[in-house]
Amino acid sequence: MSGSEVISRLKRDYIYNLMLKGEREDGRQFDELRDIALETGIIDKAEGSAMVQYGDTQVMVGVKMQIGTPFPDSPAEGVIITSMELNPIASPDFEAGPPREKAIEMARIVDRGIRESGAIDINKLCITEGEEVWMVFIDVHVLNNSGNILDAASLGAIAALMTTTVPSEREGKGEDYPLPVREMPVGISLVKIGDEMLLDPTYGEESVCETRITISSNQDGSICSMQKSGSGSLSPAQVVKASKIAKEKGEIIREKYLLEI
Amino acid sequence: MSDKPERFIDDEGLRLDGRRVDEIRPMKVEMGVLSRADGSCYLEWGNNKVLAAVYGPRELHPRRMQKPNEVLVRYKYNMASFSVEDRIRPGPSRRSTEISKVSGEAFEPVVMTQYYPGAVIDVFAEVLQADAGTRTAAINAATLALADAGIPMKGLVSACAVGKVDGQLVLDLNKPEDNYGQADLPVAMTQDGEITLLQMDGHLTPEELEEGLEMVKKGCQQILEIQREVLVSRYGNEDEEGEEAEEESPEEVPDSEEEEEERDDSFDNEESEAENADENDVTEEDEGEEDERQ
Amino acid sequence: MKRKIVYPGQVLSENEKQAGTGTYVHEGKVYSLFYGVANDKNRVTVVPFSGKYIPSPRDYVIGYVIEVTSSNWIFDIGSPYDGLLHVSEYPKRVDSSMMRKEIGIGDCAILRIKDVNTSMKVELSMKDRGLRRLDEGRIIDVSTTKVPRIIGHNGSMVSMLKKESNCDIFIGQNGRIWLKGKDEDMNRLTQAIEIIENKSHTSGLTNHISAFLRYEESDEIEEKEKPVPFTSSKKDYTEDACRKVDVLLSDEDEN
């Protein structure tokens, strides 16, 4: 899944054989997360921001808001635009240039988690129906890819949104107010190895496993978005199992990190 | 900040942020922050937040870009879309392309390019938050990232800007001074005071230029001192460490003797005599190479 | 000066005759080329803290195949320069069509560097004793600048590692280390090598590691610190450094 980079057979075999024995290279259980760190409000120039670490993986998310025109088919709704760049600073495999399919897919997965959960009340982002609405730009900046940048990006996005202030004053639209966030979706990814699923894969594990599933769940445990990615397949039972893990782990992350904000 | 202040320097000679005219903003540095990069450095300077990473020397594709006898230093300056007041579109702009070019060239005089012919050293400088002086902040971080990556250099590069407000020269412009000042002159320097980057816009008299260069040289020296401090203190107190490790110090030096031993050990068993004869040659060759490197 | 941490451009000696590896001479003075540890025996040398492996003839390296052409295997040898193993340098005759069967993409091998030309074309050989494809065991990566420390003075460290861990070990000059043994032994050995890498500047390391491998010291590798975003680091050199700078600069002025 890490692209075209060749990885040495011994390294591959090592990771693979470990997983067959129920072990992982960093000693974690299959359903164990790496240590997570989250910090918000780090970029004063952004309306909201967050820095997330999943082990050595580091992702920064910034939220900017601007006034724009609504889409004709939703004249009273604000607009959410999520971008993600796999900058070459983050990995020797990332190349400079416009986002390719992998980056675009990930940006859309993050976007769907936010959008479909209804985390942002887009009706409240209308200034003048049909003319002026707030546009919310969520920019994901990957700084170091040590695996599972997707979940780090999802957590960063919702955390940044929760700390976002709508800059009304700057735009001459009255007083600033906190962005109305009413849901806290958490995205959880697993990769498949044989019949087993690994939570929060490292870079090495991603390169050995061909299939990933990402599931975003809400506070009430309902699922708001999913994506299967990669060249392998999943059984329906695996999808169900993954959804249970996603719900359980999503709850832990929400309680430990998001409710703290 | 959108309105131009009436005065930039008060009667006591203090600037809007309380600095004297020849004072730089506070700087905070942390090295080795990215695990995937070969070298990295995070630097805050005033309200600027920049991150620099080095990858390489590594193979350069396409081949036509390779320099047959030296390494290519490729520098990419990039601003995060949320780093400024008005969101900027991701991807390179004409401004960032120009800065990338001249910043890369600022390192060419110090990087020992003959060491890795045909390869490339990639330097990525990400501006996470911009607040006047991002190109100089990025260069200061990039120098440390290059050192962290083990790149051979004649010395460090330090960068700072000098400018003019209220008809007076000031070191290291802040945002209002940058926006409304009468001149901006960013400079990068080697430790010997050789200028490796210079740009200027605005208006300066020849006398002001001369004085400004003197001032910016002092600024670069202050930054160089901070960079040295960061490098030397990173692994704890140097003196203590030196003493403690002293007795075993010969093991650290990669001299040819040890390389032989490894060969012996690795291959255990058979014909160690033939191997030994072989290795004496290696010893000589290795020393020859040592000499060349001086 | 004994051993100390130095940075690129630092003056190490006023006597150019003392210039050793990792240094350069400018107007009669010796300067450091690297960020690393300077050592002052007969000459001043600097060993960088990190750096990429640069191939040198006769080195033993561990590589893996990234491409197979009609007459060459191309190996990644952990360097900016890939290595070419020409089919004639393989221990037996191989028909062009059978090359992938013999060593395929991703396969690992112990190789020797036969030659490096001026444009850094690296020719490999597998014809010497001990050179072979690696089908079992594990490969771990260390910084190439730490290789001498892991070998130890006269091979003291590597012999001890081998003896105490019950594993086969091969250390490539390019920082790749091959291990073969029981899983738990390899795990322990991997940890031991990590300790050597991280504590390469401390004394008594050979004894310490030996005890570690015999499980005599409960000194497990230090628990990994919980991640803290670098954006929140409290390290602040500024005030202190600035004060020092002021002093320094005023000294200079007086001179």
Contact C48 B38 (CB under 8 A): no
Strands B120-129 and B72-79: parallel
**C-alpha angle B275-B276-B280 in degrees, rounded to nearest 5:** 120
Strands A132-144 and A79-85: parallel
pLDDT at position C142, please?
Answer: 93
Instruction: Return d(Cα B136, Cα B158) in angstroms, integer.
Output: 8
Sign, Cα dihedral of C41, C45, C50, C51:
negative
Q: Which two tokens stand for residue A149?
A: 């940048």
| Domain assignment of residue B133, given as a range | 27-234
Contact B38 C52 (CB under 8 A): yes
A4's CB contacts (< 8 A; 6+ apart) are none
Nearest to B36 among A83, A85, A92 (CB): A92
Confidence bin at B282 (pLDDT 50/70/90): very low
Residue B3 domain-assigned (yes or no):
no
On whether both B196 and B289 belong to a single domain, the answer is no
Instruction: Please check whether residue B259 is in contact with residue C173, taking contact to mean a CB–CB distance below 8 angstroms.
Output: yes
Instruction: Return d(Cα C177, Cα A71) in angstroms, integer.
Output: 58
Strands C168-171 and C176-180: antiparallel
On whether both B138 and B212 belong to a single domain, the answer is yes
Strands A196-199 and A186-193: antiparallel
Chains linked to A by 3 or more Cβ pairs within 8 Å: B, C
Record: fold of C138-225: Ribosomal Protein S8; Chain: A, domain 1 (3.30.1370)
C21's CB contacts (< 8 A; 6+ apart) are B290, B293, B294, C45, C46
Q: A92: which chain B residues are within 8 Å (Cβ-Cβ)?
A: 36, 55, 58
Give the pLDDT confidence of A64-112 residue by residue, as tens digits.
999 999 999 999 999 999 999 899 999 999 988 888 899 999 999 999 9
Instruction: Please check whether residue A84 is in contact with residue A106, taking contact to mean a CB–CB distance below 8 angstroms.
Output: yes
Q: Give the DSSP letter of residue A33.
A: P
Coil, strand or helix at A261: coil
pLDDT at position B243, please?
Answer: 35
Cross-strand bridge partners of residue C65: C75
Q: Give the DSSP letter of residue B248.
A: G
On whether both B168 and B271 belong to a single domain, the answer is no
Instruction: Please check whether residue B66 is in contact with residue B60, taking contact to mean a CB–CB distance below 8 angstroms.
Output: yes
**Is the pLDDT assigned to residue A20 strictly greater than 70?**
yes
Q: Give the DSSP letter of residue B113.
A: G
**Is the pLDDT assigned to residue B246 strictly greater than 70?**
no
Instruction: Return d(Cα B180, Cα B187) in angstroms, integer.
Output: 19
Residue B209 domain-assigned (yes or no):
yes
Number of residues in chain B? 294
Strands C60-68 and C44-48: unpaired
Q: C229: which chain A residues are within 8 Å (Cβ-Cβ)?
A: 37, 39, 42, 51-53, 58
Q: B149: which chain A residues are within 8 Å (Cβ-Cβ)?
A: none
Q: Give the DSSP letter of residue A257.
A: I
Nearest to B91 among A44, A49, A98 (CB): A98
pLDDT at position C225, please?
Answer: 67
Chain C: residue nearest B70 by CA?
A: C119
Instruction: Return d(Cα A154, Cα A250) in angstroms, integer.
Output: 11
Nearest to B238 among C5, C47, C159 (CB): C5
Contact B150 C50 (CB under 8 A): yes
Instruction: Provide, rounded to the nearest whole percent, the portion of chain C with pLDDT above 70.
Output: 86
Coil, strand or helix at C186: helix
Contact C138 A10 (CB under 8 A): yes
- Report the Cα–Cα distance between both ends of chain B, in Å, rounded: 53
Weakest mean pLDDT among A244-258, B191-205, C137-151: C137-151
Number of A to B CB contacts under 8 A, please give it. 85
pTM (predicted TM-score): 0.88
**Residue B60: CATH number of its domain:** 3.30.230.70
Q: Pick the residue with more confidence: A17 or A245?
A: A245
pLDDT at position A201, please?
Answer: 96
* Residue intervals in chain C for CATH 2.40.50.100: 3-48
Which H or E run contains A249? helix A236-253
Residue B9 domain-assigned (yes or no):
no
Average pLDDT over residues B151-164: 98
On whether both B264 and B167 belong to a single domain, the answer is no
Phi, psi of A127 (to 5 degrees): -100, -60
Instruction: Return d(Cα C177, Cα C78) in angstroms, integer.
Output: 12
A116 part of contact set with chain C, CB < 8 Å: no
In 3D, which of B58, B53, B52 has the Cα closest to residue B37?
A: B53
Q: Is this complex scored with an ipTM above 0.95?
A: no
Give the pLDDT confidence of C12-56 residue by residue, as tens digits.
999 999 999 999 999 999 999 999 999 988 899 999 999 999 999
Instruction: Return d(Cα B57, Cα C51) in angstroms, integer.
Output: 9
Phi, psi of C236 (to 5 degrees): -140, 105
Instruction: Please check whether residue B120 is in contact with residue B72, taking contact to mean a CB–CB distance below 8 angstroms.
Output: yes
Residue B137 domain-assigned (yes or no):
yes
Q: Which of C82, C135, C231 to mutate to test binding with chain A, by most A CBs within 10 Å of its CB?
A: C231
pLDDT at position B158, please?
Answer: 98
Q: Which of A4, A8, A19 to mutate to test binding with chain C, by most C CBs within 10 Å of its CB?
A: A8
On whether both B228 and B259 belong to a single domain, the answer is no
Out of 3.50.30.10, 3.40.50.2300, 2.40.50.100, 2.60.40.1220, select the CATH number for domain C3-48. 2.40.50.100
C226 part of contact set with chain B, CB < 8 Å: no
Instruction: Please check whether residue A168 is in contact with residue A174, taking contact to mean a CB–CB distance below 8 angstroms.
Output: yes
On whether both B168 and B202 belong to a single domain, the answer is yes
Contact A7 C106 (CB under 8 A): yes
* Residue intervals in chain C for CATH 2.40.50.140: 60-134
Q: C227: which chain A residues are within 8 Å (Cβ-Cβ)?
A: 35-37, 53, 55-56
Number of residues in chain C? 255
Residue B166 domain-assigned (yes or no):
yes
On whether both B145 and B270 belong to a single domain, the answer is no
Residue B244 domain-assigned (yes or no):
no
Instruction: Return d(Cα A234, Cα A214) in angstroms, integer.
Output: 12
* Residue intervals in chain C for CATH 3.30.1370.10: 138-225
Out of 3.30.160.40, 3.40.50.2020, 1.10.287.3510, 2.40.50.140, select the CATH number for domain C60-134. 2.40.50.140
The number of beta carbons lying within 10 Å of the beta carbon of residue C69 is 12
Residue B247 domain-assigned (yes or no):
no
Contact A143 B126 (CB under 8 A): yes
A60 part of contact set with chain B, CB < 8 Å: yes
Task: Scan for tokens 């193993």, then name that residue.
Answer: C85
Averaged pLDDT score across all residues of chain B: 83
How many structural domains does chain B have?
2
How many alpha carbons lie under 13 Å from residue C170 in its C-beta half-sphere?
26
Chains linked to C by 3 or more Cβ pairs within 8 Å: A, B
Strands B183-190 and B157-165: antiparallel
Confidence bin at C223 (pLDDT 50/70/90): low
Q: Which of A63, A89, A164 to mutate to test binding with chain B, by most B CBs within 10 Å of its CB?
A: A89
Q: Which two tokens stand for residue C37?
A: 């540890």
Chain B: residue nearest A83 by CA?
A: B90
Q: B49: which chain A residues are within 8 Å (Cβ-Cβ)?
A: 42-43
Contact A88 B82 (CB under 8 A): no
Average pLDDT over residues B187-213: 97
Alpha helical stretches, state H, chain C: 99-102, 147-151, 156-165, 183-198, 205-213, 238-254
On whether both B199 and B260 belong to a single domain, the answer is no
**Cis ω on the peptide bond leading into residue A201 (within 30° of 0)?**
no
